[in-house]
Structure 1
Amino acid sequence: MKVNIKNITVTFLIATMILLNGCSANTSNQETTLTSLLDLTTDSVSLIALGNDDVPVGRYAKEALVNYGIWDEIESKISYASSVKEVLSQVELGSVSCGIVYATDAITSDGVYVVETIDSSLLESPVIYPAAIMNDSMNQEAVQCFMDYLTTATAIAIFEENGFTYLPEESIEQEVELEACTITIFAAASLMESISEISNMFMEEHEGVEIIASFDSSGTLSSQIQYGAITDIFISASTSEVETLEELGYIDEDNVYELLSNELVLITAK
């Protein structure tokens, strides 16, 4: 059985529009030679793909560029995207000169080159992925079992293969028999590859359990929860979305776990 992945808005609309307009042939990446963030201020860079302000990777990127001291010079060059996958797609297609994504997303693409890993000191807070169990989950035993599974050696290896740094010091290895049920997961788009693989392995070990995973920007997923969308687990690419849901009563602090960390990278098309 394979994980049922529902991508809510990760539809790469910008990529489709680019193709429909016949602009997929590296129109903005020609003659661009990047070596560092400082090169973003030069005339050779015409467009820079970043996530929107409501997308964690966009907030992180803007914070880094502001603290680096070049935001005012490059703001007019920004091409905004609704998710980190959309930023990656814009760069792959060559519709922009470069973009800033997570290191883990750059790993998934054969069409981009990592110019520079952005110094983490440019961020006030590190890029942390908290995982949380929702208060209204109807399958607490199965959900907790899956959360524990995320700490197993098998899951850790998958996260690390995809470029994440695993944070918890403890690992839980246990054998639990679960009744047939469905577990729903809302997870940041940058976790698509890792969570899909881990979910498939979990289902193979627990016959009768189905996992439905939806991937999008953390801000979009958080908003959907507030508008009534039902999920058992929320894994965000930043702590702020989880903190907001805590304040609104959707999550208890005791059910939040700092799971992973990531890095920002500046990329361009190969």
Structure 2
Amino acid sequence: MKKTVIVIILSMFVFSCSNKKNRKNEITLFAASSVTNVAQEISRSFEKETGIKVKLNVASSGILARQIESGADFDYYISANKKWMDYIDSLQLVEKTTIKNLAANRLVAIVPLGNDKKLNSEEVENNFLNQFSGRLSIGDPKHVPAGKYAMQVIKFYGWEEDLADRYLPAKNVRDALLMVEMGEAEMGIVYETDAMKSEKVNIVYRFPNTACEAISYVGAAKKERSESLNSFLLYLQSEEVKRIWRINGFNLDEYE
């Protein structure tokens, strides 16, 4: 009996040590949906370089922020909207000194593949609403940064009243893109980087940066930083990570 107890205690000790070892060789990355490809590529590259595993959680910035607020275990958070990062920071859930602008994006108007028309500035300003029938696919402005930026564009051009009952809100920007790919909507407003990756839509217009707030991706680490997380923060500054952002269409010029 005594020998059995000793074996159980030793097993629990080994299990505990194993868990600590696993936690040291693993981080959890929370990333906005619009940086899915970037997050996946950075994760693979980091794992290959360091042997540290990256668990990836992808959703809209708002959903991720709410998960963090509710106590979800994370190590690094990439938001597509500074306001959500500011919110998490106000709750003291990230290390303020690690908050950093990572990359920039812009909004574009898209149509299903097969429609090769390109719009000029005059057509957008004066006749955009007649360029499509049915509803306009955007991210849900209540939760999705891309949707909030899209609403800023709509207000910039004065389309609010005419589009009031024509929105097709999606739970994230990737779904907003999908609605246009599937032909469920004749027009959508999404991030340029997502549109560039799709083989089922055409970009018909690139909205000027002045039409909405600067679209910046902001990252930050949690307060309790492990050696693995410190390694990840250092890796984010590497030339390889900058290359990954750029080949996926993001702009880094103003942050270097």
TM-score for the superposition, normalised by structure 1: 0.48
Q: Could you say which structure has the higher helix fraction?
A: 2
The answer on whether the counterparts of 2:137 and 2:185 sit within 8 Å (CA) in structure 1 is no
Q: How does 1:32-111 map to 2 (within 5 A)?
A: 43=23, 48-51=28-31, 55-65=33-43, 72-75=51-54, 78=55, 80-102=57-79, 104=82, 105-109=84-88, 110-111=90-91
In the TM superposition, residue 62 of structure 1 has moved relative to its aligned partner by 3.9
What is the match of residue 3 of structure 1?
none
SS at match of 1:263: strand
In the TM superposition, residue 106 of structure 1 has moved relative to its aligned partner by 1.0
Q: Could you say which structure has the higher strand fraction?
A: 1
What is the match of residue 173 of structure 2?
218
Distance in 2 between the 1:262 and 1:268 partners?
Answer: 20
Distance in 1 between the 2:153 and 2:123 partners?
Answer: 10
Residue by residue over 1:39-83, the C-alpha shift from the partner in whole angstroms, topping out at 9 and shown as x without a partner, is xx995898624248xx332333344455566664132xx252333
Q: How does 1:176-215 map to 2 (within 5 A)?
A: 184-187=136-139, 189-197=144-152, 199=154, 207-210=161-164, 212=167, 214-215=169-170
The answer on whether the counterparts of 1:134 and 1:232 sit within 8 Å (CA) in structure 2 is yes
Distance 1:146 1:106, change over 3 A: farther
Residue by residue over 1:200-251, the C-alpha shift from the partner in whole angstroms, topping out at 9 and shown as x without a partner, is 5755x76544252524333333233222320423212x52x31244x43x32
Alignment-mate amino acid for residue 61 of structure 1:
A
1:234 aligns with 2:186: no
Give the unaligned 5+ runs of structure 1: 1-40, 121-125, 149-174
In the TM superposition, residue 258 of structure 1 has moved relative to its aligned partner by 6.9
The answer on whether the counterparts of 2:177 and 2:188 sit within 8 Å (CA) in structure 1 is no
What is the match of residue 7 of structure 2?
none
The answer on whether the counterparts of 1:51 and 1:58 sit within 8 Å (CA) in structure 2 is yes
SS at match of 2:66: helix
What is the match of residue 262 of structure 1?
216
Larger Rg: 2
Query: RMSD of the alignment, in Å?
Result: 4.7
1:131 aligns with 2:108: yes
Alignment-mate amino acid for residue 88 of structure 1:
A
Alignment-mate amino acid for residue 57 of structure 1:
V
Distance in 1 between the 2:124 and 2:149 partners?
Answer: 14
The answer on whether the counterparts of 1:118 and 1:266 sit within 8 Å (CA) in structure 2 is yes
Give the unaligned 5+ runs of structure 2: 1-20, 225-256
In the TM superposition, residue 134 of structure 1 has moved relative to its aligned partner by 2.1
The answer on whether the counterparts of 1:91 and 1:267 sit within 8 Å (CA) in structure 2 is no
The answer on whether the counterparts of 1:93 and 1:269 sit within 8 Å (CA) in structure 2 is no
Distance in 2 between the 1:218 and 1:97 partners?
Answer: 22
User: How much identity, in percent, do the aligned residues show?
Assistant: 8
Distance 1:90 1:127, change over 3 A: same
The answer on whether the counterparts of 1:46 and 1:97 sit within 8 Å (CA) in structure 2 is no
Alignment-mate amino acid for residue 202 of structure 2:
I
How many residues align? The count is: 186
SS at match of 2:184: coil
Distance in 2 between the 1:177 and 1:66 partners?
Answer: 41
Distance in 2 between the 1:182 and 1:225 partners?
Answer: 12
SS at match of 1:61: helix
TM-score for the superposition, normalised by structure 2: 0.50
In the TM superposition, residue 91 of structure 1 has moved relative to its aligned partner by 1.3
1:116 aligns with 2:98: yes
